[in-house]
DNA sequence: TTGATTCATCAGCTTCGGTCGATGTAGCGT
DNA sequence: ACGCTACATCGACCGAAGCTGATGAATCAA
């Protein structure tokens, strides 16, 4: 049984970088636009945009243009899939405790 | 509320690399020694050892010396913590949908 | 004891990816 | 129209991290 084909890749896209993880953590509290994230993290605007692009392409955030601002929010459905995937892996790991492949 | 202080770091240690993710996936099925992992992944022995070290130091696997072999297994408790952390983040993200920080 | 096997560690190379400044575009206020 | 702000994208730089071959320790078989 496969937990999720690209579970690892998805996770890396989410947490693969400390700053990206911080962005996710902030977006988990409220929707924010890029300028908010720049203020809160202290990173440059181009850096924030870069990470938002990664998160967007990975399907973890959505961008909503609001005039000259762009609001970002997390996609709970994507996070739910991730949660299930890791939960499955955890359950599988639990069962694996009893299995040992013999050494030739 | 903080999901987990170093949730991101922990996740990166687990899935931060495709090969490492593959190792985790294999260990989720059964306990294996290094040579098994070398065979199954096709990676060099030193490379496998390197990743096992990362996983070990992160607390996700334990090593059990068995004669000249060393069996590795995942630590379900560590994975459970991770699952809870991501589940919390997911729940938090769900609530955040209704909150929007105003742009100055 | 000798040799083969398993595994960990090390130093060096190389690649990947994050960060940055610069540039361009679009929307808003005056 | 003009300027200002918010944002995306680009190219370049650089540091972190993975990969590798070599080396050494430990175990087992002959």
Q: Tens digits of per-residue pLDDT, A64-92?
A: 999 999 999 999 999 999 999 999 999 99
Residues in reach of strand D, judged by a CB distance below 7 angstroms, are: A 33-35, 38, 45-46, 48-50, 52-53, 63, 68-71; B 16-20, 43-47, 50-51, 54, 67-68, 103-104
User: Domain map of chain B by residue range?
Assistant: 7-96
Burial class (CB within 10 angstroms; exposed 0-12, middle 13-18, buried 19+) of A50: middle
Burial class (CB within 10 angstroms; exposed 0-12, middle 13-18, buried 19+) of B7: buried
Query: The domain at A7-96 falls in which architecture?
Result: Orthogonal Bundle (1.10)
Q: Tens digits of per-residue pLDDT, A26-71?
A: 999 999 999 999 999 999 999 999 999 999 999 999 999 999 999 9
Run means of pLDDT, 10 residues per run, chain B, 104 residues: 66 92 96 96 97 96 94 96 94 95 83
Within 10 A of A44 (CB to CB), how many other CB atoms are there?
A: 10
Whether the per-residue pLDDT at A12 is higher than 60: the answer is yes
Nearest residue to B2 (alpha-carbon basis) of B89, B104, B103: B89
Q: Residue A96 and residue B36: Cβ atoms within 8 Å? A: no
Q: How far is CA B43 from CA B18, B19, B26, B36, B102, in A?
A: 12, 8, 14, 11, 51
Distance in angstroms, CA of B28 to C1' of D7?
43
Residue A1 touches chain B, beta carbons under 8 Å: no
Instruction: Tokens for A84, please give them.
Output: 């299930």
């Amino acid at each position: 049984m496969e937990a999720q084909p690209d579970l690892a890749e998805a996770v890396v896209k989410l947490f693969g970088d400390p700053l990206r993880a911080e962005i996710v953590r902030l977006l988990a509290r409220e929707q924010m636009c890029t300028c908010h994230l720049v203020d809160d993290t202290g990173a440059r605007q181009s850096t924030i945009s870069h990470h938002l692009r990664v998160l967007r392409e990975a399907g973890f955030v959505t961008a909503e243009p609001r005039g000259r601002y762009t609001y970002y929010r997390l996609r709970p459905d994507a996070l739910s899939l991730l949660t299930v995937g890791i939960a499955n892996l955890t359950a599988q790991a639990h069962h694996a405790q009893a299995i040992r492949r013999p050494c030739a």
